[in-house]
Amino acid sequence: MTVVGITFALGALLYAVACAAFFVHLSRGTKLSARWAMRTLAAAMGAHAAYLISDYAISGRHPLEGIQQTLAVLSLIIALAYLATVRRHGMTAIGAFITPVTLLMLLGAGLRSSLPPVPEHVRSALLPVHVAMNVLGLAAFTLAFAAAVGYVIQERLLRTKHVIGVFQRLPALEELDALGGRFVTIGFPLFTLGLVLGIVWAAQQSALSAGQGFGMLAWLFFGIVLLTRAIAGWNGRRAAIGTMLGFMCAMAALGGYVVRGLGG
Amino acid sequence: MARELVVYGISHHRTPVSVRERMASTAERVSEDLKRLLESEVISEGVLLSTCNRVELVAVTEQPHKTREHVMGYFQHRASPEPVIEYVYEHAGTDAVRHMFRVAAGLDSMVLGEPQILGQVKDAVALAQRVGTIGGTLGRCFDRTFSVAKRVRTETEIASGNVSVSSIACELAEKIFSDLAGRKVLLVGAGKMSEVAARSLKARGASLTVINRSPQRAADLAAACGGEARPLEALATELANADVAISSTSNDGYVITYELMQGVAKMRKFRPLFMIDIAVPRDIDPRVEGIRNVFLYDMDDLKRVSQANLAAREQAASDAEQIIETEVRDYGKWLRQLELTPTIVALRERVREVVQREKQKALPRMGQLDPKVQQALDQMCEAIVGQLLHKPLTQLKQSQDGDESTALVAAVQQLFALEVTPAPTVPPPSLPENSKERGKP
């Protein structure tokens, strides 16, 4: 097994362990459980970074060159953004909803494409900027998604009066709603720029596809969430559902690119 | 004589409140009682724990029978004219240590796992320290007691969840608002339970507004709770401003109707509102629960949460008891080790001392000795010491794991007239640093 393979497998395994550790923390909520979950995540991120570096060193492939590499970079940025969030706002518990996403993205990155690299004559300055903006936007949306999932669960538990159990240590509704709103606000302009650049580039190459359709649908959902929050006071559950739908459309768009990359 | 740890006490389990209230004491009274108890010299160290649910004396004595008589006399004097002796329980040795660990961990409390008892035990120990009735033995014991209580509370779910209405109200409010500081609490009506819940929320930094049909009653309650009184006509406006609303009136019908709340929700732009209806019959129309971002809990809901939390604590109790058994065993072993080591050292020194003394007496009579003979003589003396002590020391070390260790150590000390240096005094633990340990029951 190569260095790339080992670091990849180690990263994936550690993300899986971190996910389990965060679920334990969700139910126990002690400082010890939080510490173990964060340490496991840090170890996973270390292996993940080693995978990216070794892949680049050996293959010479630019980190944002293909969809698989992009997925790997995106998942690491999500984990980094989560760490920064915990540092500022606490809410370690939402790591239980972040780590499955980072794990799935890393696993997706392991599915190697049979497509050749983008030909020289169609490359333009737009492409890396489009990819980078989408990556940053999606990272913010992932955190918003995690907060939204937490909100929906916490709200459900409060409504059904089941306040003890696996999810008993979720943060307060207000905190989760505020976090979700904040990250949609951060991600939206980035994602908008990424989407516009992507459409322009694709139009130049006559390469518009269904992927852009899902991307636009995601943009629409997030836009509605922002607008209704600001104008109609649609916070709380409605905003959370909108965020989750937007995120799923974004993931469908991403998934479409992965499948296209695999199928050739 | 061997020093023994004993516990004598009464508690809510069997003792009626009429007896317990006779025994309840202020800190000054506890200080006086401790001094008087130790004046007799039957007890060498003592800590007196006095709470609304228990009065316990933890003592160290070398005369257990006299101590019993002395302590029973004290209990009867305090409880007089109520009879108390039939309610007094007693523990000694390992059982006393087990009892202390269980009490501090909240396993013997009226509300299983409640956190106040640990703070109360720490206060009792601090008081005994000030009075000068706590020494090395009790100091070590309570030191271990506090770390066991902390371990139980950290490693089990014994302290998780809340069981009283007021603390459940705070817990649920914190699931919606995280920080209650600066939140507005509206109290509708004048029920005692709602007042207690409102006070708990106020203690966490919330501001309080009181509405009552009687303006005087509202003003009185607001003054007592540190809040603001408003007239009944302001109900809709105050509901629009509040974050938490607690209702407990004696009204027959709904005080807060669905139609009223629909308007209120729009006024507050559907900001989250936590409503607690403690009244029976209910004050708040149950349909209100269907309004966006309104969370309504009535008495049945609060009782269900309380029962679920209590059930979780009871499940955790068996884990807690296992931890305590392990700790009791380890403490006993550690204590025996503590008593044993100085005794072994003293015994070796005593025997060596005797052998050396006789050797020094005999040497002048032997004249000038060859260095090899001198060496052989020294080796023989060491061998005699080793052979003489081998069996007794092996027996002493093996007895560490059993209950006879203390008696054996005392017997060795007595038989050989050993002067054993006691283990250094452990200063009693400090008072709790924050009020969270005394927080939610």
Q: Which helix (H) or strand (E) holds A184?
A: helix A173-204
**What band does A120 get if pLDDT is binned at 50, 70 and 90?**
low
Q: What is the pLDDT of residue A74?
A: 92
Other beta carbons within 10 angstroms of residue B162's beta carbon come to: 25
Q: Give the chain A residue nearest B180 (alpha carbons).
A: A172
Answer yes or no: do B272 and B142 share one domain: no
Domain presence at residue B25: yes
Q: For residues B221 and A113, what is the distance between their CA atoms, to the nearest angstrom?
A: 72
Q: Find the length of chain B.
A: 441
- Do B42 and B150 lie in one domain? The reply is yes
Residue A255's pLDDT is: 82
Beta strands in B86-238 (DSSP E): 89-92, 184-189, 207-211, 228-230
The reply to whether B250 and B134 lie within a common domain is: no
For strands B54-61 and B4-11, give the pairing.
antiparallel
Structure tokens at B289: 């629960």
pLDDT at position B434 is 38
Q: Please state the pTM of the whole predicted model.
A: 0.74
Mean pLDDT check: name the lowest of A151-155, A247-251, B21-25: B21-25
Distance from CA of A219 to the nearest CA of B (A): 26
> B67 and B138 share a domain?
yes
* Residue B169, pLDDT above cutoff 60: yes
At B123 the pLDDT is 94
**pLDDT score for B343:** 85
Judged by CB atoms closer than 8 Å, whether chains meet at B174 and A32 is answered as no
What's the rounded Cα separation, in Å, for the pair B417 and B409? 12
Chain B residue nearest residue A237, CA to CA: B293
Shared domain for B106 and B135, answered yes or no, is: yes
Contact list in A for residue B288 (CB cut-off 8 A) is: none
Find the CATH number of the domain harbouring B189. Answer: 3.40.50.720
Query: Which residue in chain A is spatially nearest to B289 when comparing CA positions?
Result: A159
The A-side interface with B (CB below 8 A) comprises 30, 32, 154, 158-159, 161-164, 168, 170-175, 233, 235-238
Structure tokens at A61: 């492939």
B439 is a domain residue: yes
* Cβ contact A174–B154 (<8 Å): no
Q: What tens digit of pLDDT does each residue of B185-226 get?
A: 999 997 777 788 888 888 889 999 999 988 998 998 898 888
Q: Which helix (H) or strand (E) holds B247?
A: strand B244-248
Q: How far is CA B115 from the centre of its chain?
A: 7
pLDDT of residue A221: 92
B123: CATH = 3.30.460.30
- The yes-or-no verdict on residue A114 having pLDDT over 50 is no
B312 CB near a chain A CB, below 8 Å? yes
Q: How far apart are CA B276 and CA A261, in angstroms?
A: 56
Query: What is the phi/psi pair of residue B53, to 5°?
Result: -110, -10
- The answer to whether the CB of B249 falls within 8 A of the CB of B189 is yes
CA distances from A241 to A140, A160, A236, A245, B118 (A): 16, 18, 9, 6, 45
Q: Tell me the torsion sign for CA atoms B192, B193, B197, B198.
A: negative
pLDDT category of residue B438 using cuts at 50, 70 and 90: very low
The tens digit of pLDDT for each residue in A173-193 reads 999 999 999 999 999 999 999
Q: Say whether both B260 and B346 belong to one domain.
A: no
- What separation, in Å, do the N-terminal and C-terminal C-alpha atoms of chain A show? 26
* The predicted structure's pLDDT at residue B350: 87
- B417 lies in a domain? yes
From residue A123, alpha-carbon distances to A63, A202, A263, B268, B341 in Å are 15, 11, 21, 53, 81
Q: How confident is the model at residue B427 (pLDDT cuts 50, 70, 90)?
A: very low
pLDDT of residue A78: 95
Q: Is residue B386 part of a domain?
A: no
The model's confidence at residue B441, banded by pLDDT at 50, 70 and 90, is very low
Q: Is residue B435 included in any domain, yes or no?
A: yes
Residue pLDDT, tens place only, B321-357 = 999 999 999 998 887 777 788 888 888 888 888 888 8
Domain that holds residue B409: 326-359+403-441
Q: What distance in Å separates the CA atoms of residue B387 and residue B423, rounded to the nearest whole number?
A: 28
Whether residue B311 is contained in a domain is answered as: no
Pair B272, B349 in one domain: no
3-state helix vs strand vs coil in chain B, percent to 5: 60, 15, 25
pLDDT in tens, A34-66: 999 999 999 999 999 999 999 888 887 777 777
Predicted confidence at residue A112, as pLDDT, reads 61
pLDDT of residue B340: 82
Q: What is the pLDDT of residue B436?
A: 39
Tell me the percentage of chain B whose pLDDT exceeds 90.
41
**Residues B270 and B334 reside in one and the same domain:** no
> What is residue B20's three-state secondary structure?
helix
Among residues B113, B232, B223, the alpha carbon closest in space to that of B161 is found at B113
Give the nearest chain B residue to A89 (CA atoms): B178
User: For residue B206, what are the contacts with CB-CB under 8 A and spacing of at least 6?
Assistant: B180, B181, B182, B183, B184, B185, B243, B244
Say which of A163, A233, A237 has its CB closest to residue B172: A163
Looking at the complex, does the CB of residue B270 fall below 8 Å from at least one CB of chain A? yes
Handedness of CA A59, A61, A64, A68 (dihedral sign): negative
What is the edge-to-edge ordering of all strands in the sheet holding B294-298?
B228-230, B207-211, B184-189, B244-248, B273-277, B294-298
pLDDT digits (tens, 9 = 90+) for A123-160: 667 778 888 899 999 999 999 999 999 999 999 999 99
Whether residue B264 is predicted with pLDDT greater than 50 in this model: the reply is: yes
Q: Residue A103's CB: how many other CB atoms inside 10 A? A: 21
Q: What is the largest CA-CA distance in chain B?
A: 117
In a domain, B351, yes or no: yes
Judgement on whether residues B198 and B249 belong to the same structural domain of the protein? yes
**Beta strand ranges found along B37-147 (DSSP E):** 43-50, 54-61, 89-92
Please write the tens of the pLDDT for every residue from B77-129: 888 888 889 999 999 989 999 999 999 999 999 888 888 899 999 999 999 99
3-state helix, strand, coil in chain A (%, to 5): 80, 0, 20
Neighbours of B65 (CB within 10 A): 9
B379-425 pLDDT per residue, tens: 888 888 888 888 888 888 777 666 677 778 878 888 888 877 655 54
> Helix (H, G, I), strand (E, B), or coil: what is residue A111?
coil
B176 domain-assigned: yes
Q: Which of B155, B177, B196 is the last residue of a domain?
A: B155
User: Within this chain, do residues B23 and B137 fall inside the same structural domain, yes or no?
Assistant: yes
Name residue B90's beta-bridge partners: B8
Catalytic residue check, B225? no
pLDDT category of residue B17 using cuts at 50, 70 and 90: confident
Strand B273-277 to B294-298 pairing: parallel
Assess whether B197 and B151 both reside in one domain. Answer: no
Are residue B54 and residue B107 in the same domain, yes or no?
A: yes
For A172, the closest of B160, B178, B269 (CB atoms) is B178
Whether a cis peptide bond, with omega within 30° of 0, leads into B281 is: yes
Beta-carbon separation of A161 and B305 below 8 A: yes
The per-residue pLDDT of chain A, averaged, comes to: 86
List beta partners, residue B186.
B209, B245
Contact of B307 with chain A, judged by CB distance below 8 Å, is answered with no
The number of domains in chain B is 3
**Mean pLDDT, rounded, of chain B:** 86
pLDDT score at B55? 94
The answer to whether A44 touches A79, Cβ cutoff 8 Å, is yes
